[in-house]
Amino acid sequence: MEKKRGFEIAKGFEDKGIVLPERKTKYSAGYDIAAAEDTMIPVFKPGQKPVLVKTGLKAYCQPDEFFMLFNRSSNPVKKGLVMANSVGIIDADYYENEDNDGHFMFSFYNFSDHEIEIKKGDIIGQAIFSKYLMTDDDHAEGVRKGGFGSTNK
């Protein structure tokens, strides 16, 4: 079978009991993503960096595709958890990059009045695959060298 798009366990997480994402209903757009380990998210304070919640996953897709990471819809209301970047955009060339093997994570702030514990296996968000379009005058030639935050470096 030709690989088109899918999820794999990222290096370093092979023996951690990571479960590959799946859609829960026939017409769901998103694949539910679980936390790879217990993580505490402190109450937000100005100037604080977001907490990266590991998934233990990497994903592959076609060269003209990407996938988006979305917060679980109940997280902001029930837990006060908001994704720092609102929506994560993961490009096809992030897969198996030399810095982190393509391991993707969720970046959270906690706007509740108490520390929030995410337990290993808790569903923290969703991933949705999509195609993208290019402009007529596109001439991008760069090659990804690293992982998280490596564009233009």
Query: Does 56 reside within a domain?
Result: yes
Query: Does 44 reside within a domain?
Result: yes
Amino acid (one-letter) located at 76: P
Check residue 152 and give its pLDDT: 54
Check residue 144 and give its pLDDT: 66
Amino acid (one-letter) located at 57: L
Check residue 110 and give its pLDDT: 98
Contacts of 33 (CB under 8 A, 6+ apart): 21, 55, 57, 69, 106, 123, 124, 125, 126, 127
State which residues form the domain around 92. 30-131
**Reported confidence tier of residue 141, pLDDT bands at 50, 70, 90:** confident
Query: Does 136 reside within a domain?
Result: no
Query: Does 47 reside within a domain?
Result: yes
Query: Does 143 reside within a domain?
Result: no
Query: Does 138 reside within a domain?
Result: no
**Reported confidence tier of residue 150, pLDDT bands at 50, 70, 90:** low
- Number of domains the chain is built from: 1
- pTM across the whole model: 0.90
Query: Does 126 reside within a domain?
Result: yes
Query: Does 35 reside within a domain?
Result: yes
* CATH code at position 66: 2.70.40.10
Q: For the chain, give percent helix, strand, coil, nearest 5.
A: 5, 35, 60
**Reported confidence tier of residue 143, pLDDT bands at 50, 70, 90:** confident
